[in-house]
């Protein structure tokens, strides 16, 4: 990584959490200047536009979640344990002090009706997230861990929607009950499908 690439990465790492928190329209270049302690020319020497910074920030946030999740799931062998770990991860994200909501939801809600490119990024991320869960269920069936009646696709859609909705509701109401009820229900459903 040469200087330019390192600087680019540095700016994205500083900008991404701010954009996730304040939104794309709500974040100004001066916010990013302040966070990076760089002048405007320094920023624009590395990016074409604010839009590009937003898109790359979203990529960065999504990738970070993906790798974190990959590492955590690798600690377990049983599909049930992997699914449980996944649920715990999202639950912790909803209540964590330093987390400011799911980037998919945050960027997606703003991009809807205004930014087709970002919307496309989100659409892919949703598919990938649901596919991860679906694969875990399917693999669990293959290995004989889960009953054959466990519908992978239905479960992954349901679980995804419930988790996203619950993380948001918990943040809004300041009440962790929402996410707790949801993760408990999903855990029970997984357990019920164990052989």
Partner DNA sequence: CACTGTATAGACCGATCGGTCTATTATTTT
Partner DNA sequence: AAAATAATAGACCGATCGGTCTATACAGTG
Say which entry of a copy of itself, DNA, none residue 113 contacts (CB below 5 to 8 A, set by partner kind).
a copy of itself
Q: Which is nearer to DNA, 52 or 142 (CB)?
A: 52
Q: Which one of 13-21, 30-38, 89-97, 187-195 is the stretch in contact with DNA (CB under 7 A)?
A: 30-38
The tally of CA atoms less than 13 A away on the side-chain side of residue 109 is: 12
Among 28, 143, 175, 191, binds DNA (CB under 7 A): 28
Say which entry of a copy of itself, DNA, none residue 123 contacts (CB below 5 to 8 A, set by partner kind).
a copy of itself
Q: List all residues 6 or more positions away from 39 whose beta carbon is below 8 Å from its beta carbon.
A: 33
117 binds DNA (CB under 7 A): no
The residues with which 146 forms a beta bridge, in sequence order, are 194
Chain residues in the site for a copy of itself (CB under 8 A): 21-23, 25-26, 100-101, 105-106, 108-110, 112-114, 119, 122-123, 126-127, 154, 157-158, 160-166, 168-169, 171-174, 177-178, 181-182, 185
Say which entry of DNA, a copy of itself, none residue 183 contacts (CB below 5 to 8 A, set by partner kind).
none
Give the interface size with DNA as a residue count (CB under 7 A). Answer: 22
Among 15, 18, 20, 46, binds DNA (CB under 7 A): 46
Q: Least distance to DNA from the beta carbon of 21, Å? A: 15
Phi then psi for residue 176, to 5 deg, are -75, -5
185 binds DNA (CB under 7 A): no
174 binds DNA (CB under 7 A): no
Q: Which one of 15-23, 39-47, 119-127, 135-143 is the stretch in contact with DNA (CB under 7 A)?
A: 39-47
39 binds DNA (CB under 7 A): yes
CB 102, CB 167: distance < 8 Å: yes
């Amino acid at each position: 990584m040469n200087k330019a690439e390192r600087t680019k990465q540095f700016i994205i790492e500083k900008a991404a959490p701010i954009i996730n928190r304040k939104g794309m329209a709500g974040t100004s270049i001066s916010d990013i200047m302040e966070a990076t302690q760089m002048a405007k020319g320094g920023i624009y020497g590395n990016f074409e536009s604010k839009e590009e910074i937003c898109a790359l920030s979203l990529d960065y946030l999504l990738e970070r979640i993906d790798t974190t999740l990959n590492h955590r799931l690798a600690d377990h062998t049983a599909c049930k344990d992997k699914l449980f770990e996944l649920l715990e991860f999202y639950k912790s994200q909803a209540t964590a002090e330093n987390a400011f909501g799911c980037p998919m939801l945050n960027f997606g809600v703003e991009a809807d009706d205004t930014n087709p490119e970002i919307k496309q990024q989100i659409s892919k991320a949703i598919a990938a997230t649901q596919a991860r869960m679906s694969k875990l269920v399917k693999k669990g069936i293959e290995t004989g861990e889960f009953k054959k009646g466990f519908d992978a696709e239905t479960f992954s859609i349901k679980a995804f929607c419930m988790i996203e909705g619950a993380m948001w509701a918990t943040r809004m109401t300041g009440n962790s009950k929402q996410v707790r009820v949801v993760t408990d229900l999903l855990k029970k459903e997984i357990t019920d499908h164990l052989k």
